[in-house]
Amino acid sequence: MTSTKKDPVLVVLQLAGGNDALNTVVPYTNPKYLDNRPNVLIPEDQVLPINDQIGFNPNMGPMKKIYDEGHMAVIQGVGYPTASRSHFRSMDIWHTCEPTKIGDEGWLGRVVRDLDPQGENVLTAVNFGRGLPRALVAPGVAAASVGNLETYGVLTGIDDTDQRLKALDVFSKVYSPMIGTGPVMDYLAHTGLDALKGADILSAAPEMYSSTVEYGSDTVSQYMRNIVQTHLAGFGTRVLYTTAPFNSFDTHAGELAAHTRLWSETSRAIGDFYDDLKEHNAGENVMLMVFSEFGRRVKDNGSGTDHGAGGHCFIIGDQVKGGLYGEYPSLDADKLDDGDLQHNNDFRGVYSTILEKWMGLDAKTIVGGEFEQMAFI
């Protein structure tokens, strides 16, 4: 008898810049929140309550709906030991699972290698956005990276092989300072043109797609739409990645207005993504992880918040056991990490849960050890 079970798919949305965890899942009854946030406070009567202690940012209505339906897990206090407040270093740690040294392989690059060891499908992994996230970089692993599918991205319209090689040379100059010329050139030699071939194939996805869901015009909404288009096209893609661009969640100033816009757009994009999959009866094998490289400081700076440590991440999908996971980090002064939220859950435990319970892979070799797993799957 032929199995009809579909291969599990992982979608990752990175909130670049360091999302303010305290103003995302708001401890609205905690007096220490009120004391530390006089200038960026979200009033209790605006919060979307989860319980009598915490609630969602008022602009997260579509995500609150998914949470209420039981399909969104909130992982509280996610981070890693000896937190870095540098965007670049912290993101590198999340991307490579290497908190003590500079990693040369991305965790999702390792995932793709395990899923497709012979490199038979150039579309096993697809990124939507400019460049390629470190998470997807690994020697011998191809990952297509495109801009908006309707406009074919930056490299996908290049027909001539020489021109493509020149474009890849530019790509190599971007990544060489981080992982060295040897690994970069090896990566390009084995995967560069395959990745571009994959991007060309992707251009057919919009032609196969029809939906009643009307996405927003912002970048994240359009990329989430592209992800659904790719999933529905049946290319065998198992990992799809995109990023909220330009460090947009880096809210040092004007945070209330900026965060309002960011979560209005992002929550709508996630809600539309979820509804689109549901409309096409295509969500049963899809899981979405939403994360940011760190949270923000507990005390505001007068107009916004500066780089912090612990944060939250969200796991969304039909197969997700929704609810709160882990303890909300303490706001007591003696329990802070140099003025920041302490992490209660290592992000590699979140990865391990997804890898083993969802993707069916051995997590230890991908995340670099054994970490406590959770029950959201």
Domain 9-367, CATH: 3.40.720
Mean pLDDT of 28-40: 97
Count of beta carbons in the 10 Å neighbourhood of residue 188:
17
65-102 pLDDT per residue, tens? 999 999 999 999 999 999 899 999 999 999 999 988 88
Task: Please compute, for residue 118, the number of CA atoms within 13 A of its CA located in the half-sphere on the CB side.
Answer: 1
Structure token pair of residue 173: 């100059």
**pLDDT value of residue 8:** 98
DSSP 67-110: HHTT-EEEEEEEE-SS----HHHHHHHHHHS-SSS--SS-HHHH
Give which of 306, 249, 266, 278 is closest to 37, Cα–Cα.
306
**pLDDT value of residue 2:** 39
**pLDDT value of residue 202:** 80
39-73 pLDDT per residue, tens? 999 999 999 999 999 999 999 999 999 999 999 99
Confidence check: pLDDT of 176 > 90: no
Residues linked to residue 311 through DSSP beta bridges, in sequence order: 78
**pLDDT value of residue 195:** 57
**pLDDT value of residue 45:** 97
Tell which wins on pLDDT, 64 or 179.
64
DSSP 232-279: HHT----EEEEEESTTTT--SSSHHHHHHHHHHHHHHHHHHHHHHHHH
Are residues 11 and 288 in contact, defined by beta-carbon separation less than 8 angstroms?
A: yes
Confidence check: pLDDT of 198 > 80: no
Give the start-to-end residue ranges of the domains of the chain: 9-367
Are residues 74 and 312 in contact, defined by beta-carbon separation less than 8 angstroms?
A: yes
Are residues 149 and 203 in contact, defined by beta-carbon separation less than 8 angstroms?
A: yes
How many angstroms separate the first and last alpha carbons of the chain?
27
Confidence check: pLDDT of 171 > 70: no
- Kindly state the percentage of the chain with pLDDT values over 90: 73
pLDDT category, 31, cuts 50, 70, 90?
Answer: very high
- In the chain, how long is the greatest CA-to-CA distance? 65
**pLDDT value of residue 162:** 57
- Kindly state the percentage of the chain with pLDDT values over 70: 86
Q: How far from 211 is each of 22, 131, 222, 227, 356, CA to CA, in Å? A: 35, 28, 14, 13, 33
Are residues 147 and 128 in contact, defined by beta-carbon separation less than 8 angstroms?
A: yes
Task: Pick the range with the lowest mean pLDDT from 34-38, 90-94, 194-198.
Answer: 194-198
Task: Please compute, for residue 101, the number of CA atoms within 13 A of its CA located in the half-sphere on the CB side.
Answer: 5
- pTM for the model stands at 0.89
**pLDDT value of residue 154:** 37
108-148 pLDDT per residue, tens? 999 999 999 998 888 899 999 888 899 999 988 888 888 87
DSSP reduced 3-state for 62: helix
**pLDDT value of residue 369:** 96
> What does the CA dihedral 49, 50, 52, 56 come to, rounded to 10 degrees?
-50
DSSP reduced 3-state for 218: coil
Q: Which residues of 1-17 are buried (b: 16+ CB within 10 A; e: fewer)?
A: eeeeeeebbbbbbbbbb
pLDDT category, 245, cuts 50, 70, 90?
Answer: confident
Tell which wins on pLDDT, 96 or 162.
96
Cβ contacts of 186 within 8 Å, gap of 6 or more: 139, 140
**pLDDT value of residue 103:** 87
Looking at the chain, which runs of residues are DSSP E strands?
9-15, 25-26, 48-49, 55-56, 72-79, 125-128, 144-146, 239-244, 286-291, 311-316, 323-325, 345-346
CA angle centred on 367, ends 366 and 371, rounded to 5°: 130
DSSP reduced 3-state for 31: helix
> What does the CA dihedral 337, 349, 144, 176 come to, rounded to 10 degrees?
50
262-293 pLDDT per residue, tens? 999 999 999 999 999 999 999 999 999 999 99
CA distance 143 to 198: 8
